[in-house]
Amino acid sequence: MLNAVGIAFLIVIFVNFFLETMLSVLNLRYLKQNAGHLPSVLRDQIDLDTYNKSVRYNHDSGKFGMLETAVSLLLIIYFVYWGGFARIDALARTIDPGGYYLPALIFGVSIFLIKLIIDVPFNIYNTFVIENRYGFNKTTPKVYVADFFKSLIVSAFIGIPLYLGVLWFMAKAGDYWWLWCWCFIETLQALLLIIFPVWIAPLFNKFTPIAEGELKEKILSLSKKAGFPSQGIFIMDGSKRSKHSNAYFTGLGKKKRIVLFDTLVEQMRLPQILAVLAHEFGHFRLHHIKKIFVINSIVFLAGLYVLSHLFRLEIFYHGFGFSHPSNYAALIILGLSASSLSFLVTPIFSMISRRFEYQADEFAIKNLEEPQAMPEVIAVLTKENLINVNPHPWYSFFHYSHPSPVERINALKRRLKS
């Protein structure tokens, strides 16, 4: 029978579902209303056929996302309110009566595998139907299967020690387990930033040091001017899986690597590639990565502190269908429901991220020999990736970590004129 905790949890996830659905419907209708009406700021760079193709792509992706959200909601409701979690927990405890870590591991792995089984068909459809329909997918079934098992192994090597480590602190660290867990997880995140580019990323992609020539010389010159410490510049074979393009830097301290997708190098002229990198260097020099890390860390610490109090209450476990306290089960449930429970702070994080994007654009303009390449970059990325050029304002407010292409190009042009 539902208690106050169970009812409150149910209300929160339904409010989140209603809000997400409403925003998605608004955005899909806005897409259809604007079909055939390409914003004037992009008419020199994008033809009407490509624009209408982007409308269809975003419409199909949006409808598919709504279906996936609905299935996730039904999954949570079934497992929480029809005893699914409690049954798996009871089974795990019969294998090791009186145990803690083995039942916790069995429970956690079981829920992970169930979620995986549900997610895989969605991922396959998105990759081989939607992405393929619009010319993005380059993944073969062989590559997809190899990626699947590699991801499974990496998830096990990282996820299981992390999960059991958190449970150990919960069992052994007393009333301040939440603080020790926070330190443990933050340390592990920092370690992953170091090992990811060297050990994990090469499992999935080939990273080739950039060849000697004008592109390398210009990038090195720009990184020196922008004060960006780099250990190397690499081209990643992103075209092995998709035609989508990107660039990023990874690593800590002076161990940073600049990574360019091969698709981005093919799609852009040299000044445009430099504009992409100048923008990324701006995030570094303006300390955006550190600021986001600190904000996330504080929010995460606050969340663990709240959980430490909730986990002391028997009514909390009863609200999720358990007849006895089960810290690991509650931890898994809340992890699965994290997006639903954090919907009120999502627009705040999106707003902060958009502000950082504007600031990084301004940094790029100040450090480029050809600053007019920056608005060109937004147009190229929009065209090549079929980005929604003008999303519904409310949808953008809640979910867009970057300003929409129209907003961003207008801001850049104002900045170039000033």
CA 131, 159, 331, 300 torsion-angle sign = negative
Residue with tokens 């497992």: 79
Neighbours of 171 (CB within 10 A): 14
Please give the Cα distance from 99 to 101 (Å, whole number).
Answer: 6
Nearest 10 degrees: Cα torsion 324, 329, 335, 338: -30
Pairing between strand 257-261 and 232-236? parallel
Torsion from C-alpha of 276, 278, 283, 287, nearest 10 degrees: 170
Tell me whether residue 357 is one of the annotated catalytic residues. Answer: no
Annotated catalytic residue, options 89, 361, 362, 384? 361
Q: Is 417 helix (H, G, I), strand (E, B) or coil?
A: helix
CA 48 to chain CA centroid, Å, is: 30
Contact 11, 321 (CB under 8 A): no
As a whole number of angstroms, the distance between CA 289 and CA 284 comes to: 6
Radius of gyration of the chain (CA): 24
**Selected catalytic residue, list 89, 280, 357, 407:** 280
Question: Which helix (H) or strand (E) segment is 229 a member of?
Answer: none
Instruction: Tell whether the torsion through CA atoms of 411, 413, 414 and 416 is positive or negative.
Output: positive
Residue 104: closest CA among 78, 125, 129, 85: 85
Local structure of residue 137 (DSSP, 8 states): B
Element (H, E) at 261: strand 257-261
C-alpha closest to that of 288 among 347, 231, 363, 379 = 363
Biggest CA–CA distance in the chain, Å, is: 72
Active site residue 280: yes
Tokens of 146: 């190899």
Q: Which residues are catalytic?
A: 280, 361
